[in-house]
Structure 1
Amino acid sequence: MTTSSRSRFKGQKVLITGASQGIGEATALYFAQEGARVALNGRKEDKLLAVRESLPKVPEGDHVIAAGDISKEDDVAALMDKSIQEMGGLDVLVCNAGYQIPSPSEDISLADFEGVMAVNVTGVMLACRAALRYWFKEGIQGRIVVNSSVHQLIPKPHYLGYSASKGAVGNIVRTLALEYASRGIRVNAVAPGAIVTPINDSWVKDPKQYEAVSSHIPMKRPGQSEEIAATVGFLAASESSYITGQTLYVDGGLTLYGDFEKNWSS
């Protein structure tokens, strides 16, 4: 295991929810390579331990395992306290955890709808609230980056809970950004399109489905988790110091309405 010579976030402390795989894992690796000490959140501690083993070490100490369910208030309080205590502070919160359940909207169960909203919306609120309270107490100008989706903007039939949750996330980001801009706290979102992650294995590992997905993307390929992680890093870095309340779509052009690439409407 080698330690990166990059140091954009040297000495900073970063908490990442949903860090056990995919975009969350790639984001943890990005920040650790840039010198940050990272707290890894997820519900399965064994997976978090495996991710930690893959991260470069930093002089400040071991990366932190902060297991817990972000949809539960007590869990969020505990994992936030552990992260702050073991890292000695918190500079950046990355709200990455989220999931989706497919169902025709007329058949979706209330339990499934509320379950998606609990993680994707309530979990974001709880984590942001906890970070804000700490930053106010310590006078820290922290940064929040929330992982949203192109479905913050594009409807997603058969995924009503997911679409609703990402629309809500967009307005959470804008509301918090406006409310706390004068305190120097920045809040932004990254909205991925079709990304190669374990959650998308059903089409990633099927050549025909992979090609079908790619055909709908103007850049003709899905994105990689590392590309999303780099965007999260940009929104947390000093290079974006005058950006707040924005959603940055990282989607290969999906939100450009690719069907209009050829003029069929005029």
Structure 2
Amino acid sequence: MRFQDQAVLVTGGGSGIGQQVCFAAAREGARVAVADLDQERAEATAAAVRQRSGEAHAFRVDVTDPTSAMKFVTAAEASLGRLDVLVNSAGMREIVPVLDLSFEEWQRVISVNLSGTFLPSQAFARRLVALGRPGRIVNLASTLGLMAAPKRAAYTASKHGVVGLTKQMALELGEKNIRVNAVAPGVVRTPMTERYFQDEEYAQAIRDIHALGRWAEPHEIANAILFLAAEENGFVTGSILTVDGGWTIGKKM
């Protein structure tokens, strides 16, 4: 198994893609640290991993707070005995026209998606460097880190930021033997996006923008994340892996 006895830390692990990363990593032998702002959701994911005979520990973490991010890395290392992989999956989005977007909402999305990627990554990397150990970081970007869409100014800006941050961290941390990559999913059916699928006309529009004619399920993105995190792919860093069912390759006319 690719992650046998390795420690995999996952922010946003209480639901959606992050939860599926926890499940997939545990199936491949990892010890998992499940981080979420919602303690109950983190506990539920950890309990589900343990029910499948895996090892998992739950942590309440505010990824926008430097102290909380640092304490999470410290506590995860204490619980798991080591540090190997960090997956930054915590995130949120807005659906507001740019002219109506409040500064408070702008700040909230930027803080969670961009600062919430930077702070855990910095804390994780600092500890690895102090230990003299290699490691891998995988960030959750988006197709909207590569392009734009209506009513997503803060989300689009934050995910473009995640793409840039991924490349910057990969450049600086490569000499420390820390690889940093990101995935850029198309539309994924998660609790955060579930409202999209309640309107059949909108759901069909989602199908139509993807060359494969469908949206993604969270486990498909989790599989891509673990591909980037696997030791066997040790020469991959600074890459943005587009997992979008063909959304960004072109429009169907």
- Tell me, yes or no, whether TM beats 0.5: yes
Residue of 171, 178, 185 corresponding to 1:185: 178
What letter matches 1:166 in structure 2? K
Q: 1:211 is matched with which residue: 204, 209, 229?
A: 204
Matched, 1:93 2:86: yes
Q: Are residue 40 (structure 1) and residue 34 (structure 2) matched?
A: yes
Equivalent residue, structure 2, for 1:255: 248
- Alignment of 1:29 with 2:31, yes or no, is no
For residues 67-99 of structure 1, the C-alpha deviation after alignment (integer angstroms, 9 at most, x for no partner) is 111001121122221111111121000001010
In structure 1, the partner of 2:58 is 65
Which amino acid is 1:233 matched to?
A: L
Superposition map of 1:1-266 within 5 A: 7-55=1-49, 56-58=52-54, 62-259=55-252, 262=253
Distance across 1 between alignment mates of 2:187 and 2:83: 31
How far does residue 186 in structure 1 lie from its aligned partner after superposition?
0.4
Q: Indicate the SS of the match to 1:140.
A: coil
**Matched AA of 1:201:** E
2: CA distance, partners of 1:151 / 1:194? 10
Distance in 2 between residues matched to 1:170 and 1:248, nearest whole Å: 10
Distance in 1 between residues matched to 2:199 and 2:234, nearest whole Å? 41
Separation in 2 of the partners of 1:9 and 1:160?
37
- TM-score, normalized by length of structure 2? 0.96
Distance 1:142 1:164 in 2: 27
- Secondary structure at 1:134 match in 2: helix
Q: Secondary structure of 1:179's match?
A: helix
Q: Distance in 1 between matches of 2:162 and 2:141?
A: 7
SS of structure 1 residue aligned to 2:60:
coil
Q: Which 5+ residue runs of structure 2 have no aligned equivalent? A: none
Q: How far apart are the structure 1 equivalents of 2:205 and 2:122?
A: 40
Deviation at 1:221, TM superposition (A): 0.6
Deviation at 1:154, TM superposition (A): 1.3
- Once the 2 structures are TM-superposed, how far is the Cα of residue 114 of structure 1 from its aligned partner? 0.6
Alpha-carbon deviations, 1:27-60, whole Å to 9, x = none? 11000000000000111111111111211334xx
| Greater CA drift, 221-230 or 203-212 | 203-212
Separation in 1, partners of 2:14, 2:196: 21
Count, aligned residues: 251
Query: Which secondary structure does the structure 2 equivalent of 1:249 belong to?
Result: strand
Gaps of 5+ in 1: 1-6
